[in-house]
Structure 1
Amino acid sequence: MASSVEWNGDVRIPSLQAAYRSGLSLVTVVTKLHERISHYKTTDRAVWIRLQTLGSLIGEAEALEAKYSDLDHLPPLYGIPFSIKDSIDIAGLPTTTGLSGFPPLSRTPTSSAPVYDSLIAAGALFVGKTNMDQLATGMTGCRSPYGIPHSVFSAYHIAGGSSSGSAVSVGARLVSFSIGSDTAGSIRLPAAFNGVVGFKPTRGMISARGITPACLSLDCVGVLAGDVDDARRVWEVVRGYDELDPYAKPPSTYRDYSTPLSSDDATVSFTFGIPPPDVSAFSACSPIYLKLFSATVQALQRAGGSCRQVTAAEWHPFEAAGALLYDGTFVSERLASLPDDWLAANSHHLHPTIRAVFEAVVARQSTAVQAYRDLQAKAAYTRQAEHVFQTVDVVVVPTAPTQWTIAEVLDDPVRKNSALGVFSHCANVLDLCAVAVPAGTYPVPRQGGDDDEGGRGVLPFGITLMSGGRMDEKLLDIARRYENVRKTIDETGANSPP
């Protein structure tokens, strides 16, 4: 369909929706978007594992235009371009999970994951499958045979993982949103390292069927988007009970038990908790992260929040639950979805770091007694955390302790990876909802002699807000309140680091 309406390049959902209602052609958008994606390959060739051809995109665009000719009655995600992590099934397309050609982890499914079907039914436009840390085992983005994506802010710094390509595709404005998975922070960390929003809802509120398991009892499907509102729009489309997903929240407990806040009413207060200053997680933070986190507390107060520093005893369940994920027996679940003889027969095909991680898990020889003790500890920590959320609406932390260069991670891949999760692991073990939100930038020296006018670049800083299970609505309200204040800070230059 020919159109005289020009596209301004804005991929935010409301902007595209308004443009479509004004007569902007989907063919125009996908053609320009394909040009943008092709150009970005000169900057980073490791974003995609499978990309739709221009012909396929135009065909899908024309089919959508023919199906929805009434511009006043368009589906909620009509013509909105999205990417999806390559551990999520799409019928007829290979699902590699970062490992090509080795079933059951790599396969060509005959049916799609429900999350994908929901997006297509809402009119969304699939662009491609994104790169990821192999087998969704990693938080750096440096563990893929398809290359190492880098942050949209710096060619030398990690993109984060395991939903690495998904975050870059959103941060580089190649798509409006992406669907990824989060088992230990795999949506939130790459969101922080690419300056976008990463939302991990309460587990089981989005179907995890049709997704390669990492740790099946902890895996959570989530959304990466340019801002909180866009993440929420996508979540409202894909959320819902799937009776075929054994970990789905049943309808009787699915409704949101929180009292939503008015995102624009600064007179409605909320309470946010922060960890005590002497916790070990803060000692891992870079000095600039600590400074920016302090500025974040002030911004949350400007957004109507009342700050309460939780006690060491109250923070303990968060810290202890996070340690269970890799220091305890839970890591053994990464092997539970594999046939018994799969690792021995295929370990030589794995990325070297992934192979080392899996072999270390086998070498532990964890017992059922140890596993049950960890499950009992998880239940105790979850109950203790529930008490904290009776006194605060959200707990706020830095999303990560720092953002390393790719070279630093490759030099020490296991320890650097593990250290990144000090603030993120607990949300999965305690089944919290969490959203990572951009919280400013800070200057860094340019790498490799690549100087600009000031000889310095910038990297993003991000925070994560966490709340109790099924408190997603209130969490997103508070995140949007903070985001609005953050925009004002960015526009005025207030609270910018030197």
Structure 2
Amino acid sequence: MVQLRLPVQPDRDGSPAAAWIVRTEPPIALRDEGPLAGLRFAVKDNIDVEDVATTAACPAFSYRPQRHASVVQRLLAAGARLLGKTNLDQFACGLNGTRSPYGAVPNAFNPAYVCGGSSSGSAYVVATGQADFALGTDTAGSGRVPAGFNNIVGLKPSKGLLSTRGVLPAAQSVDCVSIFAPTVGMAARVLQAAHGHDPEDPYSRKLKLVDRPFPARFRFGVPDRLNFFGDELSRLAFVQAVQTLQELGGTRVAVDYRPLAGAGALLYESALVAERYAALRSFFDGRDGDIIEPVRSIIGAGCGYSAAEWCEAQAMLRSYGQLADVMWDRIDTLVVPTAPTIYTIAQMHADPVALNRNLGAYTNFVNLLDYAALAVPAAMRPDGLPFGITFIGACGSDWQLAELGQRFHHATGLPQGATGVPLPPPESIPGLAAPRTVKVAVVGAHLSGMPLNGQLTERGATLLRSAHTAPDYRLYALPGTTPPKPGLLRVAPGSGARIALEIWEMPLEQYGSFVAMIPPPLGIATLRLDDGTQVQGFSCEALATEHAEDISEFGGWRAYLAAQTERVA
């Protein structure tokens, strides 16, 4: 294996070499088969690859590991091929991608703008199609902000789901390995291959992930206070994203953002920052010339806190968590801008601390409060830069977020990253069980556009197709019903008419409440369709049709109502 350490200048394919630390020739591979066979990936340079130097963007810190990180080993065993290691904000400290001696990683759409960090190189190589997926790390948003800035997916799993053995800590108790991919489906496939308990990781957990999707009608929380730092383009893009979610069946619910913001502020403005210092203490002390600013100042701020102050900060964090968790009684997922704005590289160099803090306005609290998150592309702004949103859920909701995130991503019609390639068809999310549903045929007031159709849609039912009964039924206009309703009566085979109907699919858990709303003389029976299949559907008691008008000649309720309207006109 030859390691190609790249200079900070355009690479052979025209992309900035600052995105790469090392490329391996040929790619590292264990096998040619498996669920990820044929896929190429890269890893952030704070994740160990056997016999390839880990620098964390600090050459003086460099060491050569003797083992792959657990997550790398799992991906290689699944058939993926490792291309090399990618640039990052030094020691994974930053959300902008400019804090590296190897150079600032540019935005994939406009090189004057930041790529986002700290996992900047991993996001860039996925967005430009140089890798099929990549690993980053996420302590405070590093696996999400670069995804939002480069029109790709950033999956931040529940803490402990992916092993961090062989990953240089930033703040070990809240660190996560993250996944960048052009689509949610691919990110989910990688998560399926990579996750699993690891006894060598002190923070690994045996998590039972929820295996059912959110309902078709879902509730999404939005912070009751949003700050886009004067960026009107991002604000409008978020407004459009909220509208898209509502069109997909979501109901917007305002949530109190104060406890979330309070928790996020603790990461750098309390004794919790001592964990960043603890991760590097043996190297950090006395190495002033080897660590760049502002990384040195940020990590160094953790030196002065006492153990008592750290305990106080932990108690305050738990208090914020208790206040925040009540929102899950009212919502299925929380939706936030992945980042509220974006800056040029020049702006970031001029004010690196304050502007970096702004980028983490909606990311810092997630790991501290033990949530899962998924950053998904939402729009291309009029200035040609991407905008993304993040779905946040309770610990263990990873597959649910993936299913909803994929629904949203495909509704945007955006291409994959900066490649211009259209999104492929949606994939099955691997960790979800097949939904339990029931099909029900409707013939009258529940038809789409009719007065009672809301009883179906509010229960998450979706229209599958239009169809007709076998010629074994008669349709009657029932007198005195409000709203007007027909009755479908089964008669001798071949002595009736083919009656138009719609077939809807409803979550099984909603079916009982739907049937309970059906008033007599109507009920549910097994209907025979003209293609020979059977389905549950509306029927009527024979006694109720004795004095009702037989409208079978119209072939369906909709045609009958249209004829009545024409007659009145």
TM-score normalized by the length of structure 2: 0.69
**Aligned equivalent of 1:156, options 98, 109, 112:** 112
Distance of 2:72 and 2:310 partners within structure 1: 34
Does residue 472 (structure 1) correspond to residue 398 (structure 2)? The answer is yes
Return the offset for 1:443. 2.5
Distance of 1:166 and 1:216 partners within structure 2: 20
Does residue 333 (structure 1) correspond to residue 278 (structure 2)? The answer is no
Q: Which structure is higher in RCO with an 8 Å CA cutoff and minimum separation 6? A: 1
Distance of 1:237 and 1:122 partners within structure 2: 6
Distance of 2:107 and 2:321 partners within structure 1: 34
User: Which digits, 9 at most, give the CA deviation of each residue in 1:447-498, with x for residues without a partner?
Assistant: xxxxxxxxxxx1000111101111111111111111121128999xxxxxxx
Q: Identify the residue that residue 308 of structure 1 maps to in structure 2.
A: 253
Return the offset for 1:39. 4.1
User: Which digits, 9 at most, give the CA deviation of each residue in 1:389-440, with x for residues without a partner?
Assistant: 1221111010111110000000111111111111000101111100111111
Distance of 2:267 and 2:126 partners within structure 1: 28
Contact 2:53 2:65 in 1 (8 A): yes
Does residue 255 (structure 1) correspond to residue 208 (structure 2)? The answer is yes
Does residue 238 (structure 1) correspond to residue 238 (structure 2)? The answer is no
Q: Identify the residue that residue 270 of structure 1 maps to in structure 2.
A: 218
Contact 1:348 1:355 in 2 (8 A): no
Larger Rg: 2
Contact 1:137 1:214 in 2 (8 A): yes
SS in 1 for 2:287: helix
Does residue 46 (structure 1) correspond to residue 18 (structure 2)? The answer is yes
SS in 1 for 2:18: coil
Q: How does 1:286-301 map to 2 (within 5 A)?
A: 286-301=231-246
Kindly provide the amino acid, as one letter, of the partner of residue 284 in structure 1. F
Q: Identify the residue that residue 349 of structure 1 maps to in structure 2.
A: 290
SS in 2 for 1:297: helix
Greater mean deviation of Cα atoms: 202-211 or 371-380: 371-380
Kindly provide the amino acid, as one letter, of the partner of residue 42 in structure 2. S
Distance of 1:115 and 1:488 partners within structure 2: 30
Quickly say closer, same or farther: Cα 1:285–1:398, change in 2 above 3 A: farther
Distance of 2:273 and 2:281 partners within structure 1: 16
Quickly say closer, same or farther: Cα 1:38–1:349, change in 2 above 3 A: closer
> Identity over the aligned pairs, expressed in percent?
37
Distance of 1:411 and 1:247 partners within structure 2: 37
Kindly provide the amino acid, as one letter, of the partner of residue 470 in structure 1. G
Q: How many residues align?
A: 408
Distance of 2:358 and 2:414 partners within structure 1: 32
Quickly say closer, same or farther: Cα 1:327–1:407, change in 2 above 3 A: same
Q: Identify the residue that residue 450 of structure 1 maps to in structure 2.
A: none
**RMSD of aligned Cα (Å):** 2.0
Distance of 2:415 and 2:83 partners within structure 1: 34
Q: How does 1:394-473 map to 2 (within 5 A)?
A: 394-444=333-383, 458-473=384-399
Kindly provide the amino acid, as one letter, of the partner of residue 195 in structure 1. N
Kindly provide the amino acid, as one letter, of the partner of residue 269 in structure 1. R
Kindly provide the amino acid, as one letter, of the partner of residue 360 in structure 2. G
Distance of 1:402 and 1:283 partners within structure 2: 6
SS in 1 for 2:204: coil
Contact 2:113 2:345 in 1 (8 A): yes
Kindly provide the amino acid, as one letter, of the partner of residue 375 in structure 2. A
SS in 2 for 1:477: helix
Q: Identify the residue that residue 100 of structure 1 maps to in structure 2.
A: 59
Distance of 2:246 and 2:97 partners within structure 1: 34
Contact 1:285 1:401 in 2 (8 A): no
Distance of 2:302 and 2:309 partners within structure 1: 14
Distance of 1:459 and 1:160 partners within structure 2: 13
Does residue 197 (structure 1) correspond to residue 123 (structure 2)? The answer is no
Kindly provide the amino acid, as one letter, of the partner of residue 268 in structure 2. Y
Contact 1:302 1:485 in 2 (8 A): no
Distance of 2:414 and 2:97 partners within structure 1: 32
Contact 2:214 2:332 in 1 (8 A): no
Kindly provide the amino acid, as one letter, of the partner of residue 468 in structure 1. A
Which of the two has greater helix per residue? Answer: 1
**Aligned equivalent of 1:318, options 260, 265, 272:** 260
Kindly provide the amino acid, as one letter, of the partner of residue 307 in structure 1. R
**Aligned equivalent of 2:49, options 64, 84, 90:** 90
Kindly provide the amino acid, as one letter, of the partner of residue 330 in structure 1. L
Return the offset for 1:187. 0.8
Which of the two has greater strand per residue? Answer: 2
Contact 1:321 1:378 in 2 (8 A): yes
Quickly say closer, same or farther: Cα 1:438–1:112, change in 2 above 3 A: same
User: Which digits, 9 at most, give the CA deviation of each residue in 1:102-146, with x for residues without a partner?
Assistant: 2xxx31111111100001001101111000000001111000011
Return the offset for 1:316. 2.0
Q: Identify the residue that residue 114 of structure 1 maps to in structure 2.
A: 70
Quickly say closer, same or farther: Cα 1:283–1:148, change in 2 above 3 A: closer
Kindly provide the amino acid, as one letter, of the partner of residue 417 in structure 1. N
Return the offset for 1:270. 1.2
Kindly provide the amino acid, as one letter, of the partner of residue 298 in structure 1. Q
Contact 2:339 2:360 in 1 (8 A): yes
Kindly provide the amino acid, as one letter, of the partner of residue 44 in structure 1. P
User: Which digits, 9 at most, give the CA deviation of each residue in 1:365-395, with x for residues without a partner?
Assistant: 2222221111112222223332211221111
Contact 1:171 1:194 in 2 (8 A): yes
Q: Identify the residue that residue 80 of structure 1 maps to in structure 2.
A: 39
SS in 2 for 1:282: coil
Distance of 1:173 and 1:131 partners within structure 2: 16
Q: Identify the residue that residue 315 of structure 2 maps to in structure 1.
A: 376
Distance of 1:294 and 1:339 partners within structure 2: 44
Q: Which runs of 5+ in 1 are unaligned?
A: 1-36, 69-73, 263-267, 445-457, 492-498
Distance of 1:258 and 1:380 partners within structure 2: 30
Contact 1:85 1:131 in 2 (8 A): yes
Distance of 1:98 and 1:361 partners within structure 2: 20
Kindly provide the amino acid, as one letter, of the partner of residue 36 in structure 2. L
Distance of 1:196 and 1:123 partners within structure 2: 23
SS in 1 for 2:370: coil
Contact 2:11 2:17 in 1 (8 A): no
TM-score normalized by the length of structure 1: 0.79
SS in 2 for 1:111: coil
Distance of 1:272 and 1:245 partners within structure 2: 34
Distance of 1:232 and 1:287 partners within structure 2: 33
Kindly provide the amino acid, as one letter, of the partner of residue 295 in structure 1. Q
